[in-house]
Amino acid sequence: MIHFVETSQRRDFVGLDIEFHITFFQDGGQLAGEGEKFLVDRQPADPDEVSRLAITGWADDEEVRISLMESSPQGPDRTIIGEIVWKALSPDHMIGSFRVDLAETSGRSEAMRQAG
């Protein structure tokens, strides 16, 4: 999953591409999963940038809607809350948008299934 930051109260966030590896588990329309931030602007995330995601949501024929909580081992008292909404382009490729509460950051989001 890649987030392309388009707006934020923090100017240094605007223009960043942030990539996460995520794993979903699906039971009917319900989704759950976890992930980890690993690239920032196509470079390995610095240790202070690495974070973990906890994901819940649902999927139907129209869209996938996900709530996320992002936390960092370096800042365990601080959790980022957000939402992602995707529409499927194909069974293996989704596009949409994201928003998180950190500095009112939002933008485009894209997810592609990887074999493995």
pLDDT in tens, 7-46: 999 999 999 999 999 999 999 999 999 999 999 999 999 9
Query: In the beta sheet, which residues pair with residue 95?
Result: 87, 110
Whole-structure pTM value: 0.92
- Sequence-distant (≥ 6) Cβ neighbours of residue 107 within 8 angstroms: 3, 4, 5, 6, 7, 97, 98
What does the pLDDT read at residue 4?
99
Handedness of CA 10, 7, 69, 36 (dihedral sign): negative
Query: pLDDT class for 116, splitting at 50, 70, 90?
Result: low
Q: For 56-111, write each residue's pLDDT tens digit.
A: 999 998 899 999 999 987 777 889 999 999 999 998 999 999 999 999 999 999 99
* Structural domain spans, the chain: 2-112
62-73 pLDDT, tens digit per residue, is: 899 999 999 987
Helix (H, G, I), strand (E, B) or coil at 73: coil
